[in-house]
Amino acid sequence: MPARIDPYMKFNFLVEIDGIAQAWFQECSGLDATTDPVEYREGGENTTVRKLPGKTTYSNIVLKRGITDSDELWKWRLNIIKGKIERKNGSIVLCDLEGKEKLRWNFVNAWPTKWEGPSFDAKANDVAVETLTIAHEGLSKA
């Protein structure tokens, strides 16, 4: 009987930007790449439409975490608002239950397109969460 291989848990990941672990985020989405098909009909063949690979696009990466005293990510976003574009490379790292790196997705030429602060509610006892949306120009699995 083959050995059982359990999948990795989705809660154990970290984000590195320019090689520095920024924080343990509670949520990360947008790790995808889409290549649009381009339809092409060859001359003399009226019944068949060929589909060729076209432009590849990457979704923005959306990161959510509890607000802390660290304001590095806010300052990076603030520089964009001031017109000082600072592109960075980064990684989303999936870890096993012992905290060892198992998988890594690298993104390149990234910059923050949006920062969203927490919603406040005096009746709630949840953690105050900030959201950072990052545009980038490529994604690869390392």
pLDDT at 23 over 70: no
CB 25 within 8 A of CB 15: yes
Residue 8 falls inside a structural domain: no
Residue that the structure tokens 């806010």 belong to:
74
pLDDT at 8 over 80: no
How confident is the model over 36-65, as pLDDT tens digits? 999 988 877 777 888 999 999 999 999 998
Residue 6 falls inside a structural domain: no
Task: Report which residue type is found at 73.
Answer: L
| Mean pLDDT in residue range 24-37 | 92
Mean of all residue pLDDT scores within the chain? 89
User: Which range of residues forms the domain containing residue 53?
Assistant: 13-141
How confident is the model over 107-122, as pLDDT tens digits? 999 999 999 998 888 9
pLDDT of amino acid 72: 85
| CATH number for the domain that contains residue 76 | 2.30.110.20
Closest CA to 99 of 37, 11, 5, 2: 11
Residue 3 falls inside a structural domain: no
Residue 33 falls inside a structural domain: yes
Number of domains in the chain: 1
